[in-house]
């Protein structure tokens, strides 16, 4: 079954620690994205990648980092510089970044900072 797999589903972090969220897709999509979802706010784009070894900042990239070493994988690191990291994080992919808006999402990772 093709899709996007995010792990872990739930993650707890102490302040000052970096954490990495995993995102893997087997849809053979070129483009991948990371969004953050907070109550009462729309999805906000953190980073996106159009092709392997290339990625661009989204609207709220501060305190986050990504890599795209393989087409299938787009991990997100939430660093200690992120002031308010508690949120629901969604990874998505599309055939290309110019694709007409259809994003395929994973099931999300909920990060809680203790």
Beta strand pairing call for 10-13 and 109-113: parallel
Rounded Cα distance, 114 and 102, in Å: 35
Radius of gyration from C-alpha coordinates of the chain: 13
- 100 sits near other proteins (criterion: CB under 8 A): yes
**Closest separation in Å from C-beta 47 to other proteins:** 10
Rounded Cα distance, 38 and 36, in Å: 7
CB nearer to other proteins: give 10 or 81. 10
**Closest separation in Å from C-beta 68 to other proteins:** 14
- 31 sits near other proteins (criterion: CB under 8 A): yes
Rounded Cα distance, 114 and 105, in Å: 27
Contacting other proteins within 59-98 (CB under 8 A): 90, 92, 94, 97-98
Contact between 8 and 111 under an 8 Å Cβ cutoff? The reply is no
**Beta-bridge partners for 19:** 78
- 54 sits near other proteins (criterion: CB under 8 A): no
- 102 sits near other proteins (criterion: CB under 8 A): yes
**Closest separation in Å from C-beta 111 to other proteins:** 14
**Which residue ranges make up the site for other proteins (CB under 8 A)?**
4, 6, 31, 33, 40-45, 48, 50, 56, 58, 90, 92, 94, 97-108
């Amino acid at each position: 079954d093709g899709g996007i797999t995010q792990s872990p589903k739930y993650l707890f972090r102490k302040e000052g620690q970096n954490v990495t969220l995993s995102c893997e897709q087997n849809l053979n999509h070129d483009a991948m994205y990371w969004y953050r979802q907070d109550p009462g706010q729309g999805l906000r784009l953190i980073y996106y990648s159009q092709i392997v070894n290339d990625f661009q900042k989204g609207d709220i990239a501060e305190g986050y980092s990504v890599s795209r070493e393989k087409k299938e994988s787009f991990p997100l690191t939430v660093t200690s510089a992120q002031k308010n990291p508690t949120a629901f994080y969604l990874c998505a992919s599309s055939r290309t970044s110019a694709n007409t808006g259809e994003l395929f999402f994973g099931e999300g990772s909920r990060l809680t900072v203790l």
